[in-house]
Amino acid sequence: MAKFTHEAIFEAAYQAGEIPGVALVAADATGKFRYEKSFGKTAHGEPFLTDSVVWMASCTKLMTSVAALQQVQRGHIGLDEDVGKVLPEVAALKVLKDFDAEGKPIFEDRKEPVTVRNLLSHASGLTMELFSPKLQQLQKFTGPPANPPKDIVTELSLPLVFQPGKGWQYGSSLDWAGKLVERISRQSLEDYMKANIWDPLNMRHITFAPDSRPETKERKLGMTQRDEDGKLHPTTEGYLYQYGDRKDAYGGAAGWGSAESYLNLLQSLCANDGRVLSKELVDEMFKPQLGPEGKETVNNRLQADESTRRLIANTFDTTHLVGDHGLGGFIGLKDVVGRRKAGTMAWGGLPNLIWWIDRKSGLCGALFSNLIPTADAKITEMMMQFELSIYEQYEEFKKRESI
């Protein structure tokens, strides 16, 4: 049996109380190499298994990207077509340019339409207060909403923070992309993804409503929190966006699921097997999509504080990294020694989930945790060890296969 060097490292870290339970998965493009293993328990004492269900947060975005690209594939909308014909609420938004001396907002009209390509690469100008100082300043001027918003249109119809295609800003773009899919398909995002992504790929434990299905409800795990002193303890707080009170399925961050199920999507895209998306559109997903302004913004963020670097780049080598964004995740444009090749796409989810797809090496995988705060330094360190071990054993696997 192959010896995976990361396993002893993970077990020791768990026993030392340095990490809570995690699930690790990986697969190659052929489907012959597949790795699934879990370690430990949550701080609530629940075993963390590869089919345990956790809040996936922004891991949802990759599924929504595929769903939106399916609309392009079927001819319902063009990749560079104005989404305003389906999302008139987006078409009505202006760009927040600046504030005058008295703090009054200055708006300008859009010069270009918001397109599907813009939405999937975070180049639309759409975002939310959480990620934008400009929108935070605007809210100070306008005041908070009288009632907490419960749906995408009410909550996220906020001014753009730059002209479409002229920047990069994480935020609400994929939530709007999910709404686009619902309106074109005339189905809920749950029903649409189940029929067009989850069932075709046997992703049994993925949903927007985990309590609505016995197979996901019984697998749900509690959240672990790391305090400032590094200690881990159970918590029911800190689920920043549980979405249980929302009327919509938010395609940007409301999904729940297991590492085991999610790997099936990663593997399908890595293999470019055409099962949920055409080969041409998968190729397009993995192309750098940003204009010069957006690329400059992303790479400037990579030189920010360590937490921001981990959040955007997860386990890419940020010392030498040049990055861009595809139609589904962040793309590293340089090789990482012993691990990810140039062109690898990756992203993650707030409770310290990380995934990657390296089509050049033919390898993909993920770490699923359920730990806050996000961008945990220890989890990032452990993920690097996991990847080094997987790439090493995959090379050995290929040698054995070639004999």
The residues annotated as belonging to the active site are 58
Q: Which DSSP string do the residues of 139-157 spell out, in sequence order?
A: HHHH---SS---SHHHHH-
Contact in structure between 252 and 216 (CB atoms under 8 Å): no
Q: Are 258 and 267 in contact (CB under 8 A)?
A: no
How far is C-alpha 129 from the geometric centre of its chain's CA atoms? 19
Q: Token digits for 374?
A: 């996000």
Cα separations in angstroms, 297 against 139, 292, 294, 301? 24, 9, 5, 6
* Cis amide linkage into residue 149, ω under 30° from 0: no
Whole-angstrom CA distances from 237 to 218, 223, 234 are: 20, 8, 9
Phi-psi region of 94 (alpha: psi -120 to 50; beta: other; left: phi over 0): beta
Cα–Cα distance for residue pair 394/214, rounded to 1 Å: 36
DSSP 8-state class, residue 131:
G
In the numeric block, which tokens belong to residue 137? 């300043």
Beta bridge mates, 345: 331, 357
Question: For residue 26, what are the β-bridge partners?
Answer: 35, 365
Pairing of strands 223-226, 232-235: antiparallel
- For residues 365 and 378, give the distance between their C-alpha atoms in angstroms, rounded to a whole number: 18
| Interacting residues of 149 by C-beta distance below 8 A, sequence separation 6+ | 155
Of 35, 65, 36, 71, the closest CA to residue 186 belongs to: 71
